[in-house]
Protein backbone atom coordinates (compact mmCIF):
# COMPACT_ATOMS: atom_id res chain seq x y z
CA UNK A 1 0.00 0.00 0.00
CA UNK A 2 1.29 3.46 -0.92
CA UNK A 3 2.20 5.97 1.76
CA UNK A 4 -0.14 8.99 1.66
CA UNK A 5 2.04 12.07 1.95
CA UNK A 6 0.75 15.55 2.72
CA UNK A 7 2.90 18.65 2.32
CA UNK A 8 2.02 21.66 4.46
CA UNK A 9 3.88 24.68 3.02
CA UNK A 10 4.30 28.07 4.56
CA UNK A 11 6.71 30.60 5.94
CA UNK A 12 5.82 29.70 9.55
CA UNK A 13 7.47 32.87 10.90
CA UNK A 14 6.64 31.66 13.52
CA UNK A 15 4.49 28.55 13.67
CA UNK A 16 1.28 29.15 15.66
CA UNK A 17 -1.16 26.88 17.44
CA UNK A 18 -3.43 27.30 14.41
CA UNK A 19 -0.74 25.71 12.23
CA UNK A 20 -0.21 22.95 14.80
CA UNK A 21 -3.95 22.20 14.76
CA UNK A 22 -3.94 21.89 10.95
CA UNK A 23 -0.97 19.49 11.05
CA UNK A 24 -2.57 17.31 13.71
CA UNK A 25 -5.92 17.17 11.92
CA UNK A 26 -4.26 16.42 8.57
CA UNK A 27 -2.78 13.23 10.07
CA UNK A 28 -6.30 11.78 9.95
CA UNK A 29 -6.04 11.89 6.15
CA UNK A 30 -2.31 11.57 5.46
CA UNK A 31 0.08 8.93 6.78
CA UNK A 32 2.91 11.46 6.87
CA UNK A 33 3.09 15.23 6.78
CA UNK A 34 6.10 17.19 5.63
CA UNK A 35 6.02 20.77 6.83
CA UNK A 36 7.73 22.74 4.07
CA UNK A 37 9.27 25.97 5.32
CA UNK A 38 9.43 28.27 2.32
CA UNK A 39 12.58 30.36 2.04
CA UNK A 40 11.75 33.70 0.44
CA UNK A 41 15.02 35.04 -0.98
CA UNK A 42 13.79 38.65 -0.83
CA UNK A 43 11.82 38.42 2.41
CA UNK A 44 13.55 38.75 5.77
CA UNK A 45 11.59 37.20 8.60
CA UNK A 46 11.95 37.50 12.34
CA UNK A 47 13.35 33.97 12.38
CA UNK A 48 15.78 32.53 9.84
CA UNK A 49 14.58 29.50 7.89
CA UNK A 50 16.90 27.30 9.97
CA UNK A 51 15.43 28.72 13.21
CA UNK A 52 11.88 28.12 11.94
CA UNK A 53 12.72 24.51 11.04
CA UNK A 54 14.26 23.98 14.49
CA UNK A 55 11.24 25.49 16.29
CA UNK A 56 8.83 23.32 14.32
CA UNK A 57 10.88 20.19 15.04
CA UNK A 58 10.91 21.10 18.74
CA UNK A 59 7.15 21.67 18.66
CA UNK A 60 6.36 18.21 17.24
CA UNK A 61 9.14 16.30 18.96
CA UNK A 62 9.94 12.83 17.69
CA UNK A 63 6.62 12.09 15.96
CA UNK A 64 7.80 9.95 13.00
CA UNK A 65 4.75 10.99 10.95
CA UNK A 66 5.90 14.63 10.86
CA UNK A 67 9.01 15.88 9.09
CA UNK A 68 10.23 19.42 8.51
CA UNK A 69 12.24 20.69 5.53
CA UNK A 70 12.96 24.08 4.07
CA UNK A 71 12.55 24.66 0.34
CA UNK A 72 12.82 27.31 -2.34
CA UNK A 73 11.13 27.61 -5.69
CA UNK A 74 7.80 26.26 -6.81
CA UNK A 75 5.73 24.30 -4.33
CA UNK A 76 4.64 21.75 -6.93
CA UNK A 77 8.28 21.02 -7.77
CA UNK A 78 9.02 20.53 -4.07
CA UNK A 79 6.08 18.09 -3.82
CA UNK A 80 7.15 16.22 -6.94
CA UNK A 81 10.72 16.02 -5.59
CA UNK A 82 9.33 14.26 -2.54
CA UNK A 83 7.70 11.65 -4.77
CA UNK A 84 4.28 13.26 -4.95
CA UNK A 85 1.54 13.90 -2.45
CA UNK A 86 -1.17 16.36 -1.62
CA UNK A 87 -0.82 19.96 -0.53
CA UNK A 88 -2.35 20.92 2.83
CA UNK A 89 -3.66 24.45 3.33
CA UNK A 90 -5.62 26.14 6.09
CA UNK A 91 -8.38 28.67 5.54
CA UNK A 92 -9.20 31.31 8.16
CA UNK A 93 -11.44 33.76 6.32
CA UNK A 94 -12.78 34.82 2.94
CA UNK A 95 -9.54 36.69 2.15
CA UNK A 96 -7.61 33.42 2.57
CA UNK A 97 -10.01 31.66 0.21
CA UNK A 98 -9.43 34.08 -2.66
CA UNK A 99 -5.64 33.86 -2.40
CA UNK A 100 -5.62 30.09 -1.86
CA UNK A 101 -8.03 29.52 -4.75
CA UNK A 102 -5.75 31.41 -7.14
CA UNK A 103 -2.66 29.54 -5.91
CA UNK A 104 -4.42 26.17 -6.16
CA UNK A 105 -5.53 26.86 -9.72
CA UNK A 106 -1.99 27.87 -10.73
CA UNK A 107 -0.55 24.78 -9.02
CA UNK A 108 -3.11 22.62 -10.80
CA UNK A 109 -2.12 24.14 -14.13
CA UNK A 110 1.57 23.50 -13.43
CA UNK A 111 1.06 20.04 -11.92
CA UNK A 112 -2.37 18.44 -12.49
CA UNK A 113 -1.23 15.43 -10.46
CA UNK A 114 -0.78 17.49 -7.26
CA UNK A 115 -4.05 18.13 -5.43
CA UNK A 116 -4.77 20.51 -2.55
CA UNK A 117 -6.76 19.69 0.59
CA UNK A 118 -8.17 22.58 2.60
CA UNK A 119 -8.81 22.58 6.32
CA UNK A 120 -11.02 25.21 7.89
CA UNK A 121 -9.18 26.70 10.84
CA UNK A 122 -10.68 25.76 14.18
CA UNK A 123 -12.79 28.55 15.67
CA UNK A 124 -10.37 29.05 18.55
CA UNK A 125 -7.52 29.77 16.10
CA UNK A 126 -9.16 31.61 13.18
CA UNK A 127 -7.90 35.04 14.22
CA UNK A 128 -4.29 33.94 14.81
CA UNK A 129 -1.72 35.06 12.24
CA UNK A 130 2.06 34.92 12.58
CA UNK A 131 2.34 38.64 11.80
CA UNK A 132 -0.14 39.51 14.56
CA UNK A 133 1.65 37.25 17.04
CA UNK A 134 4.95 39.03 16.34
CA UNK A 135 3.37 42.47 16.83
CA UNK A 136 1.70 41.46 20.09
CA UNK A 137 4.98 39.98 21.37
CA UNK A 138 6.92 43.12 20.37
CA UNK A 139 4.52 45.24 22.42
CA UNK A 140 4.64 43.01 25.49
CA UNK A 141 1.25 41.39 25.01
CA UNK A 142 0.36 37.92 26.25
CA UNK A 143 0.76 35.27 23.54
CA UNK A 144 0.29 32.29 25.86
CA UNK A 145 -1.90 29.66 24.24
CA UNK A 146 -1.45 31.17 20.77
CA UNK A 147 1.91 29.58 19.95
CA UNK A 148 3.72 26.46 21.15
CA UNK A 149 5.84 27.03 24.27
CA UNK A 150 9.20 26.77 22.44
CA UNK A 151 8.00 29.50 20.07
CA UNK A 152 6.86 31.75 22.93
CA UNK A 153 10.32 31.46 24.50
CA UNK A 154 12.07 32.12 21.17
CA UNK A 155 9.86 35.14 20.53
CA UNK A 156 10.69 36.57 23.96
CA UNK A 157 14.41 36.19 23.21
CA UNK A 158 14.05 37.82 19.75
CA UNK A 159 12.04 40.74 21.14
CA UNK A 160 14.64 41.24 23.86
CA UNK A 161 17.43 41.23 21.23
CA UNK A 162 15.52 43.76 19.09
CA UNK A 163 15.09 46.08 22.08
CA UNK A 164 18.75 45.86 23.15
Dist CA 39 CA 62 (whole Å): 24
130 classed as catalytic: yes
Count the Cβ atoms, other than its own, within 10 Å of residue 148: 19
26 classed as catalytic: no
Q: Annotated catalytic residue: which of 26, 32, 89, 130? A: 130
125 classed as catalytic: no
19 classed as catalytic: yes
Is the CB of residue 104 less than 8 Å from the CB of residue 33?
no
Eight-state DSSP code of residue 125: T
Q: Annotated catalytic residue: which of 57, 92, 108, 138? A: 92
- Give the sheet arrangement for strand 5-10, strand by strand: 66-71, 32-38, 5-10, 86-91, 116-120
Choose among 61, 23, 39: nearest CA to 149.
61
Q: Annotated catalytic residue: which of 2, 42, 43, 109? A: 43
Which residues are the active-site residues? 19, 43, 92, 130
Amino acid sequence: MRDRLGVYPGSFDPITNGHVDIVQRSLAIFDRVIIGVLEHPKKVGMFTPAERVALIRETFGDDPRIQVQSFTGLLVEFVRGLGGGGVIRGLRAVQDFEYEFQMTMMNRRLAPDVDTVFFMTDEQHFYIASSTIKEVARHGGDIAGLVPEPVAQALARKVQQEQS
